[in-house]
């Protein structure tokens, strides 16, 4: 049977190159070594234009897609019963086709097939068991969430890593300001307490994390932006330097309603990071909605990916570095941003691509899981 299911995307090749290249360049290197006869535990990630999956003489032949030019197609061959076979195959964005024979082959071998949008949203799931997640990993998420001591230990590992990265970002990327030294002192004090005398409750732990974040962004106050052609494209006075992580013009300040270009860029990279972590969580068999630290709640665009928000925490300060580098290396223009009727600042498509290029490939894959959640 050679009938096939086509996979299509309306996006351009340039956008794929920005969004997806890191999957091909870095995913293989991220898979840890395992014992010789141990079953493969990591998924196969596919993306790009021209993906295909078909059966040839009992073997599943998979062709990865192209994300940039020039590039050669990469082929994978899976054999029935082979312990090297991945537990699931994840197709992120891109175009291509799958034969019905290939779908049947995957079902017989109990290999899940997951089709995702670039932002981590499900398009389709095909598995013999009817679910994409690994039951053992989801059980670990549930048990850790509902065990107060385990939940605190998991959060502590995340927040210590985040605090270390925050201090490193401050020292290496944030320009000196009147608050810089005091901010460094406060962040160091918070990190020392997390490492040497951590609280035993989650609210107290999050209180320290909040104090570190407040001190960190206070050091950003006064950071200057370089603007180009302001005589032709005027900018508001409060865009010339950074003042606050919150939206100052809102009656109730909220980070997600950015009124300043720096906050708009931070929101964009955090959105990219959350999408990436959601894709990775799904690929590794976790439930991205079942958070351990963050609560699952309704959002404007569906349910929040609470577990993805958990595992992205240590990487937030690393994402900040990309914004700081772009601010240092590029002159901005009022044309790089749009402002909505409610005063919310948004990135132009051109600047969004530049920010995407800064962050792509710069962050580590997958956060803590059952085997390493308590390591620090």
Q: List the CATH number of the domain containing 199.
A: 1.20.120.920
Is there a single domain that holds both residue 155 and residue 127?
no
* Domain CATH code at residue 81: 3.100.10.20
Is there a single domain that holds both residue 258 and residue 317?
yes
| Residue 279 belongs to domain spanning | 140-359
Task: Going residue by residue through the chain, which has 376 residues, state the pLDDT in tens, using 9 for 90 and above.
Answer: 556 555 555 555 555 555 555 545 555 555 555 555 566 778 888 888 899 999 999 999 999 988 766 778 889 999 999 999 998 898 888 899 999 999 999 989 989 888 887 666 667 777 765 566 788 999 999 999 999 999 999 999 999 999 999 999 999 999 998 999 999 999 999 999 999 999 999 999 999 999 999 999 999 998 888 898 888 889 988 898 898 886 444 444 456 678 899 999 999 889 888 888 887 888 888 998 899 999 877 554 556 889 999 999 999 999 999 899 988 888 899 999 989 888 889 898 888 877 776 665 444 444 455 544 444 4
Is there a single domain that holds both residue 176 and residue 278?
yes
Is there a single domain that holds both residue 153 and residue 36?
no
- Burial class of residue 59 in the structure, from the number of CB atoms within 10 Å of its CB (0-12 exposed, 13-18 middle, 19+ buried): middle
Q: Is residue 87 one of the residues assigned to a domain?
A: yes
Among 132, 157, 183, the domain-final residue is 132
Number of structural domains in the chain: 2
Other beta carbons less than 10 A from residue 335's beta carbon: 13
Other beta carbons less than 10 A from residue 129's beta carbon: 10
Contacts of residue 299, defined as CB under 8 A and 6 or more positions apart, other chains included, come to none
Is there a single domain that holds both residue 185 and residue 208?
yes
- The answer to whether the beta carbons of residues 37 and 82 sit under 8 Å apart is no
Is there a single domain that holds both residue 150 and residue 214?
yes
Among 132, 166, 200, the domain-final residue is 132
Positive/negative CA dihedral, 126, 15, 307, 30? positive
Is there a single domain that holds both residue 94 and residue 169?
no
Query: What does the chain come to in residues?
Result: 376
Is there a single domain that holds both residue 149 and residue 226?
yes
Q: Is residue 366 one of the residues assigned to a domain?
A: no
């Amino acid at each position: 049977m050679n009938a096939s299911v086509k996979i299509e995307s309306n996006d351009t090749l340039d956008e794929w190159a920005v969004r997806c290249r890191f999957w091909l360049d870095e995913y293989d290197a991220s898979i840890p070594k395992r014992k010789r006869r141990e079953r493969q535990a990591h998924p196969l990630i596919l993306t790009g234009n021209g993906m295909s999956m078909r059966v040839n003489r009992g073997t599943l032949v998979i062709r990865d897609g192209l994300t940039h030019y020039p590039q050669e197609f990469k082929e994978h061959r899976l054999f029935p019963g082979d312990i090297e076979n991945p537990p699931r195959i994840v197709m992120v964005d891109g175009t291509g086709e799958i034969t019905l024979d290939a779908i049947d082959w995957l079902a017989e071998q109990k290999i899940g097939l997951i089709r995702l949008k670039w932002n981590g949203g499900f398009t389709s799931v095909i598995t013999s068991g009817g679910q994409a997640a690994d039951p053992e990993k989801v059980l670990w998420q549930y048990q850790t969430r509902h065990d107060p001591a385990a939940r605190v230990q998991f959060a502590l590992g995340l927040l210590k890593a985040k605090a270390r990265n925050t201090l490193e970002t401050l020292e290496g990327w944030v320009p000196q300001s009147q608050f810089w030294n005091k901010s460094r002192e406060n962040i160091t004090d918070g990190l020392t307490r997390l490492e040497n005398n951590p609280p035993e409750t989650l609210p107290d732990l999050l209180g320290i994390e909040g104090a570190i974040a407040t001190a960190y962004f206070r050091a950003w106050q006064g950071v200057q932006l370089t603007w180009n052609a302001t005589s032709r494209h005027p900018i508001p006075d409060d865009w010339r330097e950074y003042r606050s992580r919150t939206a100052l013009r809102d009656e109730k300040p909220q980070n997600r309603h950015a009124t300043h270009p720096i906050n708009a860029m931070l929101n964009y990279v955090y959105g990219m990071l959350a999408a990436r972590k959601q894709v990775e969580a799904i690929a590794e068999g976790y439930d991205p909605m079942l958070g351990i630290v963050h609560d699952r709640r309704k959002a404007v665009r569906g349910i929040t990916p609470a577990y993805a928000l958990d595992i992205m925490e240590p990487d937030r300060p690393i994402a900040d570095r990309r914004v700081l580098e772009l601010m240092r290396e590029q002159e901005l223009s009022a044309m790089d941003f749009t402002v909505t009727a409610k005063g919310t600042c948004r990135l132009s498509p051109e600047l969004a691509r530049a920010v995407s290029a800064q962050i792509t490939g710069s962050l580590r894959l997958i956060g803590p899981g059952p085997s390493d959640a308590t390591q620090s």
